[in-house]
Amino acid sequence: MMGDRPSPPRAMSSAPTSSPSVDKVDGFSRKSVRKAKQKRSQSSSQFRSQGKPIELTPLPLLKDVPVPEQPELFLKKLQQCCTVFDFMDTLSDLKMKEYKRSTLNELVDYVTISRGYLTEQAYPEVVKMVSHNIFRTLPPSDSNEFDPEEDEPTLEASWPHLQLVYEFFIRFLESQEFQPSIAKKYIDQKFVLQLLELFDSEDPRERDYLKTVLHRIYGKFLGLRAFIRKQINNIFLRFVYETEHFNGVAELLEILGSIINGFALPLKAEHKQFLVKVLIPLHTVRSLSLFHAQLAYCIVQFLEKDPTLTEPVIRGLLKFWPKTCSQKEVMFLGELEEILDVIEPTQFVKIQEPLFKQISRCVSSPHFQVAERALYYWNNEYIMSLIEENSSVILPIMFASLYRISKEHWNPAIVALVYNVLKAFMEMNSTLFDELTATYKSDRQREKKKEKEREELWKKLEDLELKRGLRSDGIIPT
Amino acid sequence: MDAVRLMKELRVNYEQEVDFLPREAGLDLIVSAQQSGGQITARSRDVTVEDLWSLTSFFGYSTQSFVQAVSLLDRFLAMMRVQPKHLSCVSLSCLHLAARVTEEECDLTPADELIRIGQCRFTASDLGRMEKIVTEKLRFKSKAVTALTFLQLYHQITLTHATYRKETLSLEKLEAQLKACLCRIAFSKAKPSVLALALLRQEMKSLQSEDMLEISFHIQRHLKIPDAELQLWSEWVARRLSDYASPKCSKPNHRKLQWIVSRRTAQNLHSHRSVPELPTIPEGCWDESESEDSGEDVMSSGDESLCSSLGSDAEGPFFPLHLRRQYLAA
């Protein structure tokens, strides 16, 4: 029968990591220097018909048929929609493609408004139709030169049909008549696994639909929840430690956000493990900017559920603090501020020392955006109140770098911000500030003195050398 | 410097200090002024002096510059009726003047930078004009005799008599305490020699050094400072220093500082946690329905250690059956 095809598992791209065609500066590839890429036409692993046109017998509209006959007609239409068309060939089967599109449209409406149409026989047919349409091996991406941040994604050519299939499936899942107890025979682990693989699609519209689909499935199929969580773990771990390639991280994180939000207290150990072993390491990936907002949301949700996780989270972030990527550093600072916005004072005290040591380094960064972002913490009222309570610990940590940058930083705006911060500290704890100023000054004077002594010592040695040279042979050394 | 010469210098300064006292009537006017009256109040003067100290500290000026600046400021304010909106200009010009006679040329901060960091609204030429006015009115030629002058002399005198105390009697600490006092207009009325002596004695008392206190008595007798006057100011100083050392709460009157950030950073600041589109999925508790097929279900073993394996395999019940039943029965 036409349209009956297997869906082989997604082939993992095993492309080599080195790309000699891209220029490298300081070991990091230059984004701006790339060869003009030819846009490759989207390939597809779908089976292509051998040139024989596909013929489907047009069926009557559902609304034109008496209600008792509708369920059977519904099944027939589902079966017809199992036929998959080749959109690579833009000219073939145009009439039939249009027929399928309008049929799918009709099915979407039917599922949304009808009552009593969902028989037990419908479930396997629905799942089969959806599977036939959406499960496919995704075409490989343009090797490793595809930059998700800059390049245009390759969109799915069969979207006119695909979109309607997703739309239909979502409404089916959300239908009042939908019964998970029946559906779970057909929407099983294998189905979910294939669904998850599709999250690697380059088409953002598809990923958006998949996000909704998986969200609904997670909500309704309690028996699949643990499996879904485990598979997402695997995807993320593979992403972080093996491939650094997966297009659907942001969408999966968004789903996780809604799951984390619903965690029961006390938090299960499994979830805490997930936070520490998966979510924190996700921060190390180069393409962090693509999903950072969703990741930060998940982290903060965790901390709002269980504040005792604050210390491992912050220590984890500090461990993975970016050392060469300033853009990432700014992201980390943003996330850290969001965490501090909800931190409990007792937790704050536990991590304040390593935290402010890092902030002290950020504030001294020659990259002005990093310095600026870090200094702006002092404009946050809640953070200020925490700093004020613990100024005797924090001020000594920050003092030296603040004072130094006030004299040395190249950026005048940064210098002005440092003034604000120093003034705030001065008012918080005047006596400590005076002490630190005095110590700093005397340290500087001691250094200057040492410097001078060293110079004089060298000069003396030079003079000695000269004298020696003159005495021995009368020739002045050059 | 030997003790005799120091004492002589002390006397000379003592005689000159009256020339540098601000007009008492003028100071009283400021102290009694109401907030709403459109005049400079004690509070606004104090805030300005604190700002001056922030700037002094920031630019690495010496305490001397600060003290000179405050002396100029107080004398000017006590003499002229200054509008509140001009206060920052006056104070900054005093600082600039003071720094010019105190600091090295290479350490001087240019007027524009002073104005920029101080977040002031006037221009460098405004500042220049104000400096001229201040110089004229106060007939400013050289450094004033201030409490710092005396403090430094007292310190030297004490050390000549008790050299082993060099480490403990810290001039820096005394200077910092003087600065704390100068930030309150009440102390502008005190004679510098008396104020300095009060500070000295306070520090000596805290060090519990009887022999140093003996030296301070010696100085008092030499300058013929009346006991009552010294006592009065000692009390004020003690109170001020204890306030200064106590944890401060936020000041509502303080002018809020401007935080100017670049456009890029400003954009990123407001992309806070966006409201998620997906509705929350509540987690089921130990639910029979959640583990209908024990082969599929994987629950955590219930132990809270973070060492348990990540997401167990979907094979076999994780939680021993008899215990699970027990749990559900509870």
| Per-residue pLDDT, A2 | 46
When comparing pLDDT for A283 and A42, which is higher? A283
Would you call A438 and B172 a contact, using CB atoms and an 8 Å cutoff? Answer: yes
When comparing pLDDT for A29 and A235, which is higher? A235
Q: Are B330 and B286 in contact (CB under 8 A)?
A: no
Residue B123: how many CB atoms within 10 A of its CB? 13
| Per-residue pLDDT, A117 | 78
Q: How far is B103 from chain A (nearest CA, A)?
A: 16
Contacts B306 to A, Cβ<8 Å: 269, 272-273, 276
User: A38 pLDDT exceeds 50?
Assistant: no
Quick one: pLDDT band at residue A140, thresholds 50, 70, 90?
Answer: confident
CB under 8 Å to A160, separation ≥6 — which residues? Answer: A87, A97, A101
What digits encode the pLDDT tens for the residues B259-271? 878 887 887 776 6
Residues B112-117: what's their mean pLDDT? Answer: 93
Choice among A33-42, A418-427, B34-43, B98-107 with the minimum mean pLDDT: A33-42
Instruction: Locate B304 and state its tokens.
Output: 């809270």
CB under 8 Å to A72, separation ≥6 — which residues? Answer: none
Q: How far is B221 from chain A (nearest CA, A)?
A: 32
What is the rounded distance in angstroms from the CA atom of residue B311 to the CA atom of residue A274? 9
CA dihedral B3, B6, B11, B14 (to 10 degrees): -130
What digits encode the pLDDT tens for the residues A97-108? 898 999 999 999
Instruction: Locate A413 and state its tokens.
Output: 């705006």
Residue of chain B whose Cα is closest to the Cα of A434: B176
What is the rounded distance in angstroms from the CA atom of residue B159 to the CA atom of residue B169? 8
Q: Are B161 and B3 in contact (CB under 8 A)?
A: yes
| Per-residue pLDDT, B308 | 33
| Per-residue pLDDT, B190 | 92
Q: How far is B330 from chain A (nearest CA, A)?
A: 17
Q: How far is B60 from chain A (nearest CA, A)?
A: 9
User: A9 pLDDT exceeds 70?
Assistant: no
Would you call B310 and A276 a contact, using CB atoms and an 8 Å cutoff? Answer: no
Residue of chain B whose Cα is closest to the Cα of A441: B60
What is the rounded distance in angstroms from the CA atom of residue A102 to the CA atom of residue B60? 78
User: B160 pLDDT exceeds 50?
Assistant: yes
Window 192-231 of A, Cβ < 8 Å to B: 211-212, 215, 218-219, 222-227, 229-230
When comparing pLDDT for B308 and B41, which is higher? B41
Percent of chain B with pLDDT over 90: 45
Q: Which range among A32-41, A386-395, A466-475 has the greatest average pLDDT?
A: A386-395
Quick one: pLDDT band at residue A339, thresholds 50, 70, 90?
Answer: very high
Helix, strand, or coil here: A468? helix
| Per-residue pLDDT, B306 | 35
Average pLDDT in chain B: 81
Residues A135-142: what's their mean pLDDT? Answer: 82
Q: How far apart are the first and last CA of chain B?
A: 89
Residues A288-305: what's their mean pLDDT? Answer: 94
Identity at B197, one-letter amino acid code: L
What is the rounded distance in angstroms from the CA atom of residue A451 to the CA atom of residue A448? 5
Contacts B57 to A, Cβ<8 Å: 422, 426, 437
Q: How far is B188 from chain A (nearest CA, A)?
A: 21
Q: Which range among A37-51, A69-83, B84-98 has the greatest average pLDDT?
A: B84-98
Count how many Cα atoms sit within 13 Å of the Cα of residue A298 in the half-sphere of its side chain: 26
Quick one: pLDDT band at residue A273, thresholds 50, 70, 90?
Answer: very high
Contacts B46 to A, Cβ<8 Å: none
| Per-residue pLDDT, B208 | 84
Q: How far is B122 from chain A (nearest CA, A)?
A: 17
What digits encode the pLDDT tens for the residues B204-240? 888 888 888 888 898 999 889 999 999 999 999 999 9
Choice among A80-89, B162-171, B220-229 with the minimum mean pLDDT: B162-171
Q: Are A313 and A280 in contact (CB under 8 A)?
A: yes
Identity at A398, one-letter amino acid code: M
Choice among A9-18, A206-215, A299-308 with the minimum mean pLDDT: A9-18
What is the rounded distance in angstroms from the CA atom of residue B139 to the CA atom of residue A143? 80
Contacts A219 to B, Cβ<8 Å: 281
Whether residue A258 lies within 8 A of chain B, CB to CB, comes out as yes
What is the rounded distance in angstroms from the CA atom of residue A460 to the CA atom of residue A454? 10
User: B317 pLDDT exceeds 70?
Assistant: no
What digits encode the pLDDT tens for the residues A391-446? 999 999 999 999 999 988 888 899 999 999 999 998 888 889 999 998 988 898 89
Provide long-range contacts, Cβ within 8 A and 24+ apart, for A188-195: A188/A224, A189/A224, A189/A227, A189/B296, A189/B314, A191/A127, A191/A131, A192/A217, A192/A224, A192/A227, A192/A228, A192/A231, A193/A231, A194/A7, A194/A131, A194/A135, A195/A134
Contacts A225 to B, Cβ<8 Å: 284, 290
Contacts A259 to B, Cβ<8 Å: 281, 283
Percent of chain A with pLDDT over 70: 85
User: A151 pLDDT exceeds 90?
Assistant: no
Q: How many CB pairs under 8 A join A and B?
A: 172
Percent of chain A with pLDDT over 90: 60
| Per-residue pLDDT, B252 | 41
- CB-nearest partner of B282 from A262, A417, A430: A262
Would you call A223 and B296 a contact, using CB atoms and an 8 Å cutoff? Answer: yes
User: B28 pLDDT exceeds 60?
Assistant: yes
Quick one: pLDDT band at residue B74, thresholds 50, 70, 90?
Answer: very high
When comparing pLDDT for A146 and A359, which is higher? A359
User: A381 pLDDT exceeds 60?
Assistant: yes
What is the rounded distance in angstroms from the CA atom of residue A75 to the CA atom of residue A118? 10
User: A320 pLDDT exceeds 60?
Assistant: yes
Q: Which range among A54-68, B134-148, B158-172 has the greatest average pLDDT?
A: B134-148
